[in-house]
Amino acid sequence: MTTANWVQLVVSLGVVFAVAPFLAKFMTRVFEGERHILSFLAPVERGIYRITGVSAKQEMNWKQYLAALLVFNAFGFISLMALLMTQEWLPLNPAHIPNMSWHLALNTAVSFMTNTNWQSYNGEVSASYLSQMAGLAVHNFLSAATGMAAALALIRGIRNKASEGENSTGYRAPLGNFWVDITRTTLYVFIPLSIILTIFLLSQGVVQNFSSYVHGITLEGKDQILPMGPAASQIAIKQLGSNGGGFFGVNSAHPFENPTPFSNFLEWIAILLVPVAIPFVFGRMVKDKSQGRALFAAKTAVFAIGMVVVLVAELGLNTMTGGHGSMEGKEVRFGIPASAMWAEATTVVSNGSVNAMHDSFSPLGGMIPLINIMLGEIIYGGVGAGMYGMLVFVFITVFFAGLMVGRTPEYIGKKIESREVQLSVLAIIGQTVMILFLAAIAVVTKAGLAGLNNQGPHGLSEILYAYSSTIGNNGSAFAGLTVNMVFYNVTLAFAMLVGRFVVIVPVLAIAGSLGAKTPIPPSVGTFATNNTTFVVLLIITIIILAGLNFFPALTLGPILEHFLMLKGMVF
C-alpha cells in the first residue's frame, strides 16, 4: 500500500474509534430515558405514544416483548409486500415501473423487514419512488431499530435485578418496552444522524429529486437513460442502519449513490459508526465500562485480521497478469484499497452495501467477506444484532471457561446455566445448519444451478455467499448469481427469516431467563470477563464454533479456486 492508502485507512478508523465512545454516551442517555442534547424532541416522542396508545412506563416481560416485535414485523412485511405488488397503480412512479411479481415482492419485503436488504432486483427498473421512500427507506429505519431493541432487552436482562413474583423462566422479568425502544432509536439516533449525512452526501453530488429519468448521449453517441430519484436520504440510513440496500442496482458503486472519494469516506464511516459504538453502550448500561471495552477489543481484533488479509490478497501479486492487484470489478475513482476496505467493513457489519463487485475479487480476497458473514455477523455486526449475537458467544465462552477451571459460570453477576447455553447453541447452530443445508439443495437441483454464471469452485462460492449473506442478514452478493427466479426468491426469503428470528427468539428468551435471576456479588471464584485472557478465549470460541463448521465448504470453494488460479485456471 502507498502512503496515501495507509493515511486513508488510519484516518478512517481514527474517526470511527474517536467518535464512537461519544456517540455511545449519547445513545445510552437516550435508551435510559435521561436528558440529552435532543431532549427538545420529547414532545414529539410523547405525541407518538398518545397517537399509538402506547404506555411508555409499562414494561414488558420477554414474551410480551417478543410478541410485540413479531407483530410489528409481520405488519411491516404485509404492508411492504402489498405496496410493491401495486406500485404500478400508485403515484410517484414517473418511470412507469410495473408491479413486482409475487415472488420478487415476497423476497424484497422479507429482506427489508429483516434488516437484510438483499436485492434480487435493480432499484432503477423495479421500484417506484413511492416504493423506495414509503416502503424500503421506512424499513431501513424500523428494521434497524428492531435489532437495537432486541439488544437493549438482552442488556437489561443481564443488568436488571429480579423483582417480586418472578418465576424461574423469567416470565415477569421486565426488559423495557419494545415500542419505546424503537421510537427512541428512530427519533433520537437514526433520523438526526441521517439528516446530517444526507446533507453531506448532497454536497458531493448524490442524487435527491423527484425528476423523471433523463435521456443523455454517451461519448460514443449512444442514447442512455440516467435514473433519478430521492436517493441521498435513503443512502444515509442504508449505511447508518446497517441496511445496505442500494437505491440503484449496482449499489454504492453507482456514481449517483457514491460519486467521490470523499462520499466514499463518509459512507464507510457511517457503515461502522453505530455498530462500533454499541459495545460502549453495553458497558455503560451494565455499569461496567470495562466489559464493553473487552467486547470492543474482541470485535476489533478479528476485524483487523480480516482487513489485513483482504488488503494483502487484493494488492498482492496477481499470477494471471504478473502485476500487483487487479482493478476488475472495482471503480477507478476508489481504487483497490478503498474497495477492499469497504468489502471488509460492509461484511463485518451486517450492512451489505458494496462499492465493488466481490465476485471479481481474488479467491482469498472474496473469501474474507464470506467468512465475516459466516461468523454470524457479530464483528461488529448489525445495529443491535451484532451485540446480541456476540453476547451469545460470550455466554458459551463463560460456560466453557467455568467447566475448565471449576468455577461457577457467570457473566456480570448472572449465572449462566443450562437454559442459557442451550438457547445460545440454538442461535449459533441454527444459522450454520441452514446455510449448509440450503446451499446443498441449490448445488444438487436444476433450479439452483440455473442461476450460476460461473462453474467450478467459484460457482460454489457464489451459492455459499448467497445463503450466508441472507441467513446472516448481510444482504451483499457475490454478483455472479442470477437470483430473480422463483427458486432463489423463495429459498432466500426463507433463509432471511431463519437468520433473523432463529437468533432473536432465543436471545429474548435468554434475556427473560437472566432477568429473573438475582445478581451474584463477585468473589474469588468469579471468572473475569474484562481482561485480555477472556478476549483471547472469546475469539478462540468464535473461531471454533462458527468458523470451523464451514472449513470443508470453504475448501471446496475459494481455497480450491486459489490453488487452481496459481496453476493458471480461472472460472
Helix ranges (H only) for 32-101 are 42-52, 62-84
Q: Where exactly are the structural domains of the chain? A: 59-177+279-571
- Determine the Cα–Cα distance for residues 435 and 448; give it in Å rounded to an integer: 14
From first to last of its 571 residues, the chain has per-residue pLDDT tens of: 667 677 888 899 999 999 999 999 999 999 999 999 999 999 999 999 999 999 998 999 999 999 999 999 999 999 999 999 999 999 999 999 999 999 999 999 999 999 999 999 999 999 999 999 999 999 999 999 999 999 999 999 999 876 544 444 444 578 999 999 999 999 999 999 999 999 999 999 999 999 999 988 888 888 888 999 999 999 999 999 999 999 999 999 999 999 999 999 999 999 999 999 999 999 999 999 999 999 999 999 999 999 999 999 998 877 766 677 888 889 999 999 999 999 999 999 999 999 999 999 999 999 999 999 999 889 898 899 999 999 999 999 999 888 877 777 889 989 999 999 999 999 999 999 999 999 999 999 999 999 888 889 999 999 999 999 999 999 998 878 899 999 999 999 999 999 999 999 999 999 999 999 988 887 777 788 999 999 999 999 999 888 888 999 999 999 999 999 888 888 7
Query: Which runs of E-coded beta strand occur in 312-412?
Result: 410-411
Give the residue from 458, 239, 206 showing the smallest Cα distance to 345: 239
- Determine the Cα–Cα distance for residues 534 and 301; give it in Å rounded to an integer: 13
Please name the residue that has the C-alpha cell 478465549: 537
DSSP state of 40: G
C-alpha cell at 301: 481484533
Please name the residue that has the C-alpha cell 471464584: 525
The answer to whether 55 touches 48, Cβ cutoff 8 Å, is no
- Determine the Cα–Cα distance for residues 236 and 269; give it in Å rounded to an integer: 11
CA angle 330, 310, 246 (to 5 degrees): 45
Helix ranges (H only) for 212-327 are 232-240, 261-285, 289-315
